[in-house]
Structure 1
Amino acid sequence: MADHLPPVAREAAPGGGTADGPPPSHPAPGADPARRTGARGPGGGPGQRQAYAAIDLGTNNCRLLIARPAGDGFVVIDAFSRVVRLGEGLAQSGRLSDAAMDRALAALQICADKLRRRNVHLARSVATEACRRASNGADFIERVRRETGIALNVISAQEEARLAVLGCHILLEQGDGPAMIFDIGGGSTELVLIENGPTVPRILDWQSVPWGVVSLSETCGPESGGVSERAARYREMRGLVDAAFAPFAERVAPARADMAGSGGLRLLGTSGTVTTLASLHLDLPAYDRSAVDGVIVPASAMRSIAARLSGLSLAERREVPCIGRERADLVVAGCAILESILDIWPAERLGVADRGIREGILRSLMATGLSRPGAAAPDASPAPAAARADQR
């Protein structure tokens, strides 16, 4: 892990977009390869005014974050997030569909344009579970490189978990002993048992299972029928996730028992599921990142919300504030995964993070670029020449 973890600040992104929100690295489209590391900005320090970027192409979302170092942290200068459902139909076919790839490519073209306009000199772009599982994942990665200049790296589940921890662990409640951090994605879910370290947490154990909100929803089939049928579908989801996490639950049981005895179970989650449910707990009329990121909520309240949502019809969920049409068909699977996690690590309180892989990438890039002039971050590279030709 990186040895420097700056806090996150945000400033208005003139180009629009929303910040919410992991990858290996490459100089971005529009970057000058001669300015990868060690460049001096107007502030006098190496790279102080350089822009860094992180792209996270997941099973459900495509997300971009562009930032500049600022003191001990960084300031976000542009961001972008779009639901692309890259993994739609993957559970049945084993392949990325043409429509899903086209949606993702359209979003990545926007990302490439932002990288050029922001003159990003170093970026890391990653793809996760959908591209890991798809038989045509490598072909899609090559098409992205050819059409956008973005060099996506398909990261392992272990690297995905590491970056998520790196990006959000500063929001974990203070305390001693092991704690749990989790990331519910579109195609997979990562659970990571950590303990405090001098600068970053030390990972004690981790597990990734191929159940995310998209893969679990598709495997259990579309919703149909009334209340009893919805309850049966939810039980099926819970059973699949519980079975997948059973070996990990057994491994962490001693740590759970030790910490439960001292009343010190700590739990932090990052994902659209936990931020959405936290919004409902706060009774927000619309999603507000500033109100959600870093909030700590009772785990019992999250369970109650999960139970309520799982009993609603699809049409009813679409009318719930902070869910809407894009998440209405997926949030039930997220609720099932969250409840399974709360069984494994039954903390009384749940920390909520609207940050994760992208922030972890940025911290890694900046730590490397600012602390070791002349050294590139792992998998970092300058922008493709075709993209650099568009630089002004």
Structure 2
Amino acid sequence: MADQSPPDLRTAAGKRRGKTSGKVADFRYKRPSRPDRKARDSSGPLHAPVGHVRHEGGPRRQAYAALDLGTNNCRLLIARPSGENFTVIDAFSRVVRLGEGLAASGKLSDTAMERTLAALHVCAEKLRRRNVHLARSVATEACRRASNGAAFIERVREETGIVLDIISAQEEARLAVLGCHILLEDGVGPAVIFDIGGGSTELVLIEPGGPVPRILDWLSVPWGVVSLTDSVQPPDGTKQGRAARYREMRRLVSESFTPFAERIAETARKSGTIRLLGTSGTVTTLASIHLELPQYDRRAVDGLIVPSHSMRDISLRLSTMSEKDRRTLPCIGDDRANLVVAGCAILESILDIWPAKELAVADRGIREGILRSLMAADEIAERSRENRVRAQGQDL
């Protein structure tokens, strides 16, 4: 995590449906918080919280884990360090729709929580079986916004042993950038990285350079593929009705982007090369359609550069198709057929304010950012321990 949350210079933090944005400091690494004393004193690994440190041993030989519980998906990645990178040894992803109905009710539904707990039990078993040395588990917009979000987090801890940290929008943006910035095209000057989630969208203006880019400005809005879909009336079944619904989605998102758009307009105007990198199910799905893949292939999509006009064309085509027709398209299927239109509306609004000719696509993000943070922090701590031992030996 950052040493401190980036300051919110534009709006008060904690407003449920308000925008969150502001200029932020550079990345700084910090070890994740330790488990509470009660959890540490519990007997045996099955009772120890699996979202934190659980095992001792040589950190560079051990497994690290990152769990990202979003509004729509639950994702887990377990990896070991490999030089400057890491090798994935286990992974899990399931659509849980935790934020289903949240826009209307303001809370997580019983059905959504049960679906999510089932997925988290699978994650907990993988964490134990892989003998994970260090892990961090985070929850994002759905748990931030839900009135019963904190109670659900406690229930997760009691039933699975996973200690979820409800992170801020700022931290979510930071981790997404850390996880995927390496895929930015070469160039000079600022770039924008964005993450379209289930319950929110983060946009980050960065200055590349060095192992970690410097964040110049950022924005988080409470529009993701789930929250936007749930907040706009379903279409009337006609092509004209679907087009009208898409225009309303575009209007809502564009309005929420206005402060950020105004702040970065001069930067966009002065930049010789406008670079844009997106990480989300929306961009990977549209990239798959662009490639006409018969089924999703991460190796073909992660790092792909797609002309922006192609992404716009695909977005407009999907926006007026019926949900039934969208379900028949490869790489969309049942899970994304209802949500992809909202993602298209958000993507087009991003292209409006940062008019890059091409879009870089990342099938990586928060989980990879967490892993890099954990490994870097652990390596620093290990070097510090070695230096202390060396100094003590010299004193003797």
Give 1:221's aligned residue. Answer: 233
Q: Which runs of 5+ in 1 are unaligned?
A: 3-22, 41-46, 377-392
TM-score for the superposition, normalised by structure 1 = 0.85
For 1:347 and 1:34, how far apart are their aligned partners in 2? Answer: 46
For 2:217 and 2:88, how far apart are their aligned partners in 1? Answer: 31
Q: Compute the displacement of 1:375 (Å).
A: 7.6
Q: Compute the displacement of 1:372 (Å).
A: 2.0
Q: Give the letter for the 2:306 counterpart.
A: V
Q: Secondary structure at the match of 2:162?
A: coil
For 1:193 and 1:356, how far apart are their aligned partners in 2? Answer: 16
Give 2:296's aligned residue. Answer: 287
For 1:148 and 1:374, how far apart are their aligned partners in 2? Answer: 33
Q: Determine if contact 1:64/1:81 at 8 Å carries over to the other structure.
A: yes
Structure 1 ranges of 4+ moved more than 6 A: none
Correspondence 1:1-392 to 2 at 5 A: 29=50, 33=54, 35=56, 39-40=57-58, 47-259=59-271, 262=272, 264-373=273-382
Q: Secondary structure at the match of 2:163?
A: coil
Q: Secondary structure at the match of 2:382?
A: coil
Q: Compute the displacement of 1:221 (Å).
A: 2.6
Q: Determine if contact 1:24/1:361 at 8 Å carries over to the other structure.
A: no
For 1:30 and 1:166, how far apart are their aligned partners in 2? Answer: 20
Q: Secondary structure at the match of 1:306?
A: helix
TM-score for the superposition, normalised by structure 2 = 0.84
Higher relative contact order (CA 8 A, sep 6+): 1
Q: Compute the displacement of 1:128 (Å).
A: 0.2
Q: Determine if contact 1:60/1:85 at 8 Å carries over to the other structure.
A: yes
Q: Compute the displacement of 1:224 (Å).
A: 2.9
Q: Determine if contact 2:55/2:131 at 8 Å carries over to the other structure.
A: no
Q: Give the letter for the 1:179 counterpart.
A: A
Q: Determine if contact 1:30/1:117 at 8 Å carries over to the other structure.
A: no
For 2:53 and 2:358, how far apart are their aligned partners in 1? Answer: 46
For 2:118 and 2:55, how far apart are their aligned partners in 1? Answer: 29
Q: How many residues align?
A: 344
Q: Determine if contact 1:184/1:212 at 8 Å carries over to the other structure.
A: yes
Q: Compute the displacement of 1:70 (Å).
A: 1.1
Q: Secondary structure at the match of 1:352?
A: strand
Q: Compute the displacement of 1:198 (Å).
A: 1.9
Q: Determine if contact 1:24/1:125 at 8 Å carries over to the other structure.
A: no
Identity %: 72
Q: Determine if contact 1:24/1:126 at 8 Å carries over to the other structure.
A: no
